[in-house]
Structure 1
Amino acid sequence: MGVVIGLVFGLIGGSAMTSLTYRIPEGLPLMMDRSKCPSCSHPIRARDNVPVFAYLWLRGRCRDCSASIPWRYPLTELAGAAIGVVAALTPVDTLDKFSCGLALLVGLGAAVIDQRTYRIPNALTYPAALLLLVLGIANAWISGRWSPFVLTIGLAVAILVFFVLLRVVSRGGMGLGDAKLAAVLVLGVAAFGIWSTVLAVLASFFAGSVVGVGLILAKRSNLRAQLPFGPFLTVGFVLTTLSVVIFH
């Protein structure tokens, strides 16, 4: 049952992230009006907004103007579904599962935006951080255990400071958006423990290094080329969460 709930949660969250990855870079209202086709501006019908399945029965095209729907939309929704299932399988309390899924979904949205625009917007990370803090307080209040919440805040602040220092050392090579996203992800997965958080950050840098070296060897990049780090952060934290599920 928990896996089914996680799957539905992930599909809905992935669909929301799909919308936000278009709306935020375009400067559109986030949730105040109905989604529209970017080509013909026709409002999208409710039945055409069903995650993944709508793309399949529309055959990847707008119902009104037949413009192609980008592949990243159903792929983002499928990735959201996978995140929801993984979060549901984590060996933590229900609110911690929700926090984990929410943080990873935000990471997914940030990764897509960062890949396209080389920036991670505050409009995504700030509300997520606030909601995760509220969830953390609620969990501490219900359980009566405040020490884990205080530790979570400490970890998030430490990671934020670490990334800010990296930005200073690299002279802008690491963006402040990356620092904020890292803090949000830590707020979501800190229930797994300090070492899991450290492993997630290390995995992010390892993934970025492997891809960077691979692009250089394939002569598609050079040492001075800029790579968005948001996708690697998300991958590192998702893989670490998956390892917690597998090896628990």
Structure 2
Amino acid sequence: MRGEDDNLTPQRFSPKPLVMYLVVVGLVFGLIGGSAVTALSFRIPAGMPLLIDRSRCPVCSHPIRARDNVPVFAYLWLRGRCRDCSTSIPLRYPLIELAGGAIGVVAALYPVDGIDKVSCGLALLIGLTAALIDQRTFRIPNRLTYPSAILLLLLGVVNALSTGRWTSFVATVSLAIAVLAFFIVIRLVSRGGMGLGDAKLAAVLTLGLASLGIWSVALAILASFFAGSVVGVSLMVVKRSSLRTQMPFGPFLTLGFVVTALGAGIYHL
């Protein structure tokens, strides 16, 4: 019987006959989540309402019909053009939706069950939203990270209430606080080289994926720094940047957690 001493030890993954079912479900919900990410990554920096207003064509301002919001398939059906004004729909929209689908598959393979799996998927979709915003604006807004942290904490409370694993919940929150403090220290040492938005995003991602334990979170953070270093050095080699060139870290942070979660899922298959 699993007790509270398990802390952050992951639950066993679902039986293998269910893997394909979980992957399909994860893909569908990931595509839907990718569509939401597309809207949020535009609305949050612009200060627009997040849930009330319907999506509109940025050229003709006509509300987008429900059938034209079906992820990826609507883009193919419309041949990449607005139904009302025939303006080309940017290719990045279906690509973001496909990225969301991929995240859904990663969450489906993530070797935990129940609410922990949902938290993983939500955290990675939040990370994708933050990466897109950071890449464009060089900042990760509190309007994204604060509500996301509250949502993941609530999911953690629900999980603890349903399973009785309060020690695991406390350990997860403690780990997220430790990660936040770690990134704040890096910011102080680098004299602003690391943004507070990056620190908050790292804590949010930790809340969603801490169920695999401290070392997995540490590996995800290490992978993000490694990816950022490789890209930074590569850009300097081709003379596209210098040591003083500003580079968003949100995309690399999200990538580190996605790769770690995927690796854990593949390992436990």
TM-score normalised over the length of structure 2: 0.90
Query: Within 5 Å, which residues of 2 pair with 1:115-194?
Result: 115-194=135-214
Partner of 1:229: 249
Distance 2:138 2:27 in 1: 29
Q: Residue type of the partner of 1:78?
A: L
Moved more, 203-212 or 66-75: 66-75
Cα root mean square deviation, aligned: 0.9
Q: Which amino acid in structure 1 is aligned with residue 103 of structure 2?
A: I
1:216 equivalent among 221, 231, 236:
236
Where 1:226 maps in the other structure, the secondary structure is coil
In the other structure, the counterpart of 2:224 is 204
Question: Could you tell me how far apart the structure 2 residues matched to 1:21 and 1:34 are?
Answer: 15
Structure 2 unaligned regions, length at least 5: 1-20
Q: How far did residue 94 of structure 1 move?
A: 1.3
Q: Would you say 1:75 and 2:95 are equivalent positions?
A: yes
User: Match for residue 101 of structure 1?
Assistant: 121
Compute the displacement of 1:162 (Å). Answer: 0.7
* Per-residue CA distance 1:72-122 (angstroms, 9 max, x = gap): 211111011111111111121210000000000000011011101101111
Name the residue aligned to 1:63. Answer: 83
- 3-state SS of the aligned residue for 2:244? coil
Q: Which runs of 5+ in 1 are unaligned?
A: none
Specify the SS of the correspondent of 1:16.
Answer: helix
Quote the offset at 1:210 in angstroms: 0.2
Aligned length: 248
Letter of the structure 1 residue corresponding to residue 79 of structure 2: R
TM-score (norm 1): 0.98
CA distance in 2, matches of 1:172, 1:59: 45
Percent identity (aligned): 73
Q: Which residue in 1 is equivalent to 2:73?
A: 53
- What amino acid sits opposite 1:129 in the alignment? A
Q: Is the 8 A contact 2:106 2:262 kept in 1?
A: yes
Counterparts of 2:113 and 2:266 in 1: how far apart (Å)?
Answer: 17
- Flag the structure with more relative contact order, 1 or 2, with Cα contacts below 8 A and sequence separation at least 6: 2
CA distance in 2, matches of 1:116, 1:66: 26
Three-state SS of the structure 2 residue aligned to 1:124 is helix
Instruction: State the AA in 2 paired with 1:135.
Output: L
Shift of 1:4: 1.8
Cα deviation code 1:152-204 (max 9, x no counterpart): 00110000011111111111111111011000000010001110000000000
What is the match of residue 4 of structure 2? none
Name the counterpart of 1:20. 40
Give the Cα–Cα distance (whole angstroms) in 1 for the partners of residues 238 and 76 of structure 2.
34
Q: 1 CA distance for matches of 2:176 and 2:43?
A: 28
- Shift in Å, 1:19: 0.5
Structure 1 CA distance for aligned equivalents of residues 228 and 73 of structure 2 = 32
Q: Residue 233 of structure 2 aligns to a residue in which SS?
A: helix
